[in-house]
Amino acid sequence: MSTVFPPPQPVLLPVADREDRFPVRRVYCVGRNYADHAIEMGHDPSREAPFFFQKNPDNLLFGNDKFPYPPLSEDVHHEIEMAIALKAGGADIGLEDAMACVYGYAVAIDFTRRDRQAEAKAAGRPWEIAKAFEHSAPISPILPVETVGHPSSGRIWLNVNGVIKQDGNLDQMIWKVPEIIAELSRLFVLAPGDVILTGTPAGVGAVHRGDRINCGIDGITTLSLSVV
């Protein structure tokens, strides 16, 4: 079968210490999944049903330590997150089956055009221009479950130019990993290759060209990049 033009290459994430690559199907993100971050964004942190948004697979930035500052924005914020990589999926996945879907974990940053997000919120419009822009999700190599297990606690942190900005713990997540997978599978049919960003702790803030960002999750790995 011929195609009108050559199909795009799949997004293949590196796997730590392996030659294998992880083919990405979709990228989901959990909004306001840490109470202190919900508060700093002006929201009630009570345990309401989680909400989700998406980035595109080719928004993932890997194998490059430079984050290009996006155009049409003057207020871009860092948000460190734990990423879940799925090896299986389905619809209406039960809590007892959710963890069997996980291939591994990674460290990611959900960069956000905060000024464009505020404009979208005020107008009651979707967030894509704030979240799904090019290179908006730097991500580390994936660490398989056989290597790191299923982290449920551990420091999650980010510094800018050596100054700590975000400093939390995975156990502060309102919705835990199995709950995220189960709830998300009620809304979408999950599949191998899906990546889920699980939310960010408090301390999000602006980055500027020339900044150096270092971040990590204890028990998983670290990620470093420069804003250019």
pTM score, two decimals?
0.94
Task: Give the closest residue to 105 by CA, choosing from 203, 213, 16.
Answer: 16
Q: Are 144 and 201 within 8 A, CB to CB? A: no
Instruction: Answer for the pair 221, 138: CB distance below 8 angstroms, yes or no.
Output: no
- Taking the alpha carbons at both ends of the chain, their separation in whole angstroms is 42
Q: Tell me, what's the pLDDT at 1?
A: 83
Give the pair of three-digit tokens for residue 163. Answer: 């100054």
Does residue 10 contact residue 16 with C-beta atoms inside 8 Å? Answer: no
The percentage of residues in the chain with a pLDDT greater than 70, rounded to a whole number, is: 94
Please check the confidence at residue 40 and state whether its pLDDT lies above 80: no
Contact 33, 173 (CB under 8 A): yes
Q: What are phi and psi of 59, to 5 degrees?
A: -80, -15
Mean predicted lDDT score pLDDT of the chain: 94
Set out the domains of the chain in order of their start, with CATH numbers: 12-227 (3.90.850.10)
Count of CB atoms within 10 A of residue 98's CB? 24
Task: Inform me whether the pLDDT recorded for 109 exceeds 90.
Answer: yes
Higher pLDDT, 47 or 3: 3
* Residue 42 predicted with pLDDT over 80: no
pLDDT value of residue 49: 78
At residue 53, does pLDDT exceed 70? yes
- Judged against a pLDDT cut of 80, whether residue 44 lies above it is answered with no
User: Considering the chain, what percentage of its residues have pLDDT values greater than 90?
Assistant: 89
Radius of gyration from C-alpha coordinates of the chain: 17
Query: In terms of DSSP bridges, do strands 27-30 and 195-197 run parallel, antiparallel, or are they unpaired?
Result: parallel
The residues, ordered by sequence, that sit 6+ positions from 105 with a Cβ below 8 Å of its Cβ are: 82, 83, 84, 85, 142, 143, 145, 148, 151, 217, 220
What is the rounded distance in angstroms from the CA atom of residue 108 to the CA atom of residue 54?
Answer: 14
Residue 50: predicted pLDDT: 82
Pairing of strands 143-144, 102-109: antiparallel
* pLDDT band, residue 41 (cuts 50/70/90): low
Question: Averaged over 133-148, what is the pLDDT?
Answer: 98
Cα–chain center distance at 208: 20
| CA–CA dist 221, 16 (Å, integer) | 10
The DSSP bridge partners found for residue 109 are 80
Over range 33-40, report the average pLDDT: 68
Q: How far is it, in rounded angstroms, from Cα 19 to Cα 66?
A: 23
pLDDT of residue 142: 98
So what's the pLDDT on residue 32? 86
